[in-house]
Amino acid sequence: MMRKLTLLAMAAILAFAMAACSSGNTGSNSSGNGGGNAADGKSGETVELTMWMFTGTGLEPFVEQYQKDHPNIKVKIQQQEYADHHNGLVTALEAGGAPDIALVEIGYMDRFKADESKFHNLADFGANDIMGDYLEWKKVQASSQDQNFIFGIPTDVGPMAMMYRTDLFEQAGLPTDPAQVAQEISTWDAFMEAAKKMKSATGKPMVDTSLSTYEVIKGQLTNHYFDSDGNLIAETNPGIKKAYDYAAALSMEGLSGKIAQWSPEWGAGMNNGDFAVQMAPAWMMGFMKANAPDSKGKWNVAPMPEGSGNWGGSFLTVPQESKHPAEAFALIKWLLAPEQQLALFKSNNNFPSTPSIYEDPAIQNYTDEFFSGAPVGKIYAEAAKKVVPVYYGPDYTIVNTPITNALTEVERNGGDPEAEWQKAMDQIKRDLRR
Amino acid sequence: MESRIEQNRPAAGPGQATAQSKWRSQKFRDHLSGYLYVSPFLIVFALFTLFPVLWSMYISLFSWKLMGSKTFIGLQNYVWLFTDDPLFWKSVGNTFSMWLMGTIPQLFLALFIATLLNANLKGKRFFQVGVIVPNVTSLVAVAVVFISIFGANYGLMNYFTSEVLGFEKINWQASYWHAQIAVSVMVIWRWTGYNALIYLAALQSIPQELYEASTIDGASKFKQFLYITIPMIRPAIIFTIILSTIGGMQLFVEPLIFAGNTGGQANQVLTMVLYLYDTAFAKNSFGYASAIAWMLFVIIMLFSLFNLYLTRKINSTT
């Protein structure tokens, strides 16, 4: 009898263990009704939403606010560092365990867009009604080629401007007034000339690293590494090679500072004036203020040479696995509505993707003492309208990494640009064939 | 009680009878319960170790981008690995060179610290606890601190080499050997104390009489160390060598945080495991990554056999 009991107990434990192994992420599959009454948050049972983001978006307080207004919605936010977040998301989408809402940055967007079956089509929940609020090029990035499938709603955009150190520009005999700077440094050739002046007069490099200049010039192209049919054009695209050659020339002339972005040295370099120019999207202003407090008032802002550019900007998506897509969409819709984006601009300097508020006095009259009182709101609004949509392609980062590695090798170790370029092209082909 | 009834029941036929009694016998039940007792481990092992191992062998025959379909390509992944992947062989070389640079100084240093700790110095307990602190510190925090130390412009290391010693500033992250040295220093910093404690335990188990006898015979301290200490702690030395080998082959977090996914722009600190990680989780080529994993298995296996041979040899030359 005793033995029998033991056996039974063992079997029970086993069954429990197996069940625990297989269940994984059932978490909250309560109200599957998903329809209207739950979405507007007045009635219905509590819905728990999981939300994955990378750090630094500034969205958390708004999610808090939404939960206060909608007591039946509970949001669990999980934040990770940028690359970890996206790599984890890829794995979760494939293997299970994806959240109800996932933030996707533009560099990864095309990789996720390659598989429609992993996401809810937000058009089914009425996304078409609000897409008109957003910038045309963001709409293109957020949807499938034929525009029928809407993957996500745009968060902020990263229009770019040129931040320059007025103290260093003055020492180098360059103009310091934004209008004059814009006029004198209107092309990349002129930028190179100015960089040479900077080097000979002050001994300081013009930019942090040649890499950032490459990214900026590349960002002004309409085609990058893949054409819209998905063919690899990195090697044949003349714009890419031109950007590469320009960046390599910068570093070979000693005009770049060998300071990697996001390294501790970078913030210190901004603070101490180790380089004269920082090409910065709107969201980077917060970073500069936090990491280079001593340089307050020494920066001013001018448009970048040869037009605008965009760095970053993300989308909030609803993975297919979500059991509450309607509630998730309702939250996204509110979170990214023009009013909230304007508030987020004020709190976190994230630049809105909704042009209707660009004329709002809060943006038009927005100046910043850190940047010598420059009208940054106006400058970025102008820049945002000039951005052209680019097709990145699902394997964008795979192609970009060897090229940026090549440029770093040229800059840091004096590698031969042509040899490094060839090596990068070979590596790209190896990485893509697998 | 059920079984008693069974036993009393007349047999229906010879074959059935033996089968039934076998099924119901005490011996069989003992076996069964034995298996059930170990089954929780076996099931977890099968699910989380055995299955992934076999599965990775299976998918190493495919071209599989995570967000897409699998295509069977046979042994093509292995052909590429052997014939046309300089990065893989570079990662193998890096792993071994950093293992050498990290392990050898580390073990000597550990032995040195252990002998110091074994001597009668004041506050011994404090230092004994102190040497283990690096080992329990969060690895990511350690790496972040070391990135600052090895910074090119404002790093502590460069301050020392350029301001104090008067050398030129070194770009630790970018140049090949310097980056490897920096990562090796991280490994040394983390593991020296741990090994020192193992040596210390071994040192304390050496009978004091041996030293007394040799002192009477007129042996110098150095001779004592060479002919008494080293032979007596040989098992501990072999143990630490094996442990450092395992650790060295798996070197991953330090280079990842120090130089990123690709182990630096020239892959200067790309290790085998880091290459595997990059291929699987950044490039999402799971088939190829599985092939790398199996190559890793073969390489580590060969190296372990070599290691075993060496340590056996050391052990037998007493």
> Per-residue pLDDT tens for B90-135?
999 999 999 999 999 999 999 999 988 888 778 888 888 888 888 8
pLDDT (mean) for A327-350: 92
In a domain, B70, yes or no: no
Does position B12 have pLDDT exceeding 60, yes or no? Answer: no
Residue from A361, A358, A415 nearest A383 by CA: A358
Share of chain B above pLDDT 90, in %: 48
Interface membership of A209 toward B (CB under 8 Å)? no
Does position A44 have pLDDT exceeding 70, yes or no? Answer: no
pLDDT of residue A3: 55
Interface membership of A416 toward B (CB under 8 Å)? no
Q: Which pLDDT band holds residue A11 (cuts at 50, 70, 90)? A: low
pLDDT of residue A33: 38
**How far away is chain A from the Cα of B171, in angstroms, using its nearest Cα?**
8
**Least CB–CB distance from A265: residue in B37, B66, B153:** B153
Q: Which pLDDT band holds residue A408 (cuts at 50, 70, 90)? A: very high
Share of chain A above pLDDT 90, in %: 65
pLDDT (mean) for B174-178: 89
**Least CB–CB distance from A13: residue in B1, B40, B282:** B40
Q: Give the integer Cα–Cα distance in Å for B175 and B173.
A: 6
What letter does residue A93 receive in the DSSP assignment? H
Which of A338-342, A383-387, B2-6, B175-179 comes out lowest in average pLDDT?
Answer: B2-6
In a domain, B65, yes or no: no
Whether residues A264 and B151 touch (CB distance < 8 A) is answered with yes
What is the bridge-based pairing of β-strands A152-165 and A299-302?
A: antiparallel
Full DSSP string of B178-246: HHHHHHHHHHHHHHHHHHHHHHHHHHHTS-HHHHHHHHHTT--HHHHIIIIIHHHTHHHHHHHHHHHHH
User: Are B281 and B235 within one domain?
Assistant: yes
In a domain, B281, yes or no: yes
Whether residues A412 and B68 touch (CB distance < 8 A) is answered with no
pLDDT of residue A38: 41
Place of tokens 């030129």: B168
Q: Give the integer Cα–Cα distance in Å for B204 and B193.
A: 16
**Least CB–CB distance from A409: residue in B40, B147, B266:** B266
Interface membership of A260 toward B (CB under 8 Å)? yes
Q: Which residues of A touch B279 (CB under 8 A)?
A: 434
Q: Give the integer Cα–Cα distance in Å for A33 and A48.
A: 13
User: Are B54 and B85 within one domain?
Assistant: no
Does position B192 have pLDDT exceeding 60, yes or no? Answer: yes
User: Are B38 and B165 within one domain?
Assistant: no
Per the model's pLDDT, the better-predicted residue between A12 and A434 turns out to be A434
Whether residues B85 and A430 touch (CB distance < 8 A) is answered with yes
Q: What is the CATH number of the domain that holds B209?
A: 1.10.3720.10
User: Are B15 and B125 within one domain?
Assistant: no
pLDDT of residue A388: 80
**Least CB–CB distance from A265: residue in B151, B261, B287:** B151
Residue A181 Cα distances to A185, B35, B70, angstroms: 6, 80, 54
Buried b (16+ CB within 10 A) or exposed e, B286-295: bbbbbbbbbb
Does position A134 have pLDDT exceeding 60, yes or no? Answer: yes
- List of domains in chain A: 28-157+313-357 (3.40.190.10), 158-309+392-433 (3.40.190.10)
Q: Which pLDDT band holds residue B213 (cuts at 50, 70, 90)? A: very high
pLDDT of residue A18: 46
In a domain, B64, yes or no: no
Whether residues A17 and B153 touch (CB distance < 8 A) is answered with no
User: Are B54 and B111 within one domain?
Assistant: no
Q: How much is the ipTM here? A: 0.77
Q: Give the integer Cα–Cα distance in Å for A425 and B8.
A: 82
Per the model's pLDDT, the better-predicted residue between A266 and B23 turns out to be A266
User: Are B87 and B224 within one domain?
Assistant: yes
In a domain, B247, yes or no: yes
Whether residues A258 and B171 touch (CB distance < 8 A) is answered with yes
Note down the domain range covering B26: 2-59
Q: Which residues of B touch A399 (CB under 8 A)?
A: none
pLDDT (mean) for A288-304: 93
pLDDT of residue A10: 52
pLDDT of residue A20: 44
Which of A15-29, A41-55, A223-237 comes out lowest in average pLDDT?
Answer: A15-29
User: Are B130 and B23 within one domain?
Assistant: no
**Least CB–CB distance from A115: residue in B32, B68, B283:** B68
Per the model's pLDDT, the better-predicted residue between B257 and B270 turns out to be B270
Q: Which pLDDT band holds residue B20 (cuts at 50, 70, 90)? A: low
pLDDT (mean) for B182-210: 93
Whether residues B68 and A404 touch (CB distance < 8 A) is answered with no
- A2 to chain B: closest CA residue: B1
Which of A15-19, A185-189, A215-219, A383-387 comes out lowest in average pLDDT?
Answer: A15-19
Instruction: For residue A181, give the amino acid letter.
Output: V
pLDDT of residue B293: 94
Does position A352 have pLDDT exceeding 90, yes or no? Answer: yes
User: Are B171 and B230 within one domain?
Assistant: yes
User: Are B93 and B11 within one domain?
Assistant: no
Place of tokens 């009978």: B207
pLDDT (mean) for B189-211: 93
How many Cβ atoms are within 10 Å of A321's Cβ, its own excluded? Answer: 18
Convert the pLDDT of each residue in B285-315 to its tens digit. Answer: 999 999 999 999 999 889 888 888 887 887 7
**Least CB–CB distance from A87: residue in B171, B174, B282:** B282
The token pair at B313 is 């040899």
Convert the pLDDT of each residue in A212-237 to its tens digit. Answer: 999 999 988 888 999 888 899 999 99
User: Are B102 and B242 within one domain?
Assistant: yes
Share of chain A above pLDDT 70, in %: 90
pLDDT of residue B16: 52
Q: Which residues of B touch A408 (CB under 8 A)?
A: 174, 265
pLDDT of residue A329: 95
> What is the domain count for chain B?
2
User: What integer best gives the mean pLDDT of chain A?
Assistant: 87
Q: Which pLDDT band holds residue B5 (cuts at 50, 70, 90)? A: very low
pLDDT of residue B147: 87
User: Are B100 and B136 within one domain?
Assistant: yes
Per the model's pLDDT, the better-predicted residue between B139 and A100 turns out to be A100
Q: Which of residues 31-90 of A touch B (CB under 8 A)?
A: 83, 87, 90
Q: Which pLDDT band holds residue A37 (cuts at 50, 70, 90)? A: very low
Residue B134 Cα distances to B131, B147, B191, angstroms: 7, 16, 7
Spell out the residues 6+ positions from residue A252 whose beta carbon is closer than 8 angstroms to its own.
A410, A414, A417
User: Are B246 and B306 within one domain?
Assistant: yes
In a domain, B127, yes or no: yes
Convert the pLDDT of each residue in A342-351 to its tens digit. Answer: 999 988 888 9
In a domain, B310, yes or no: yes
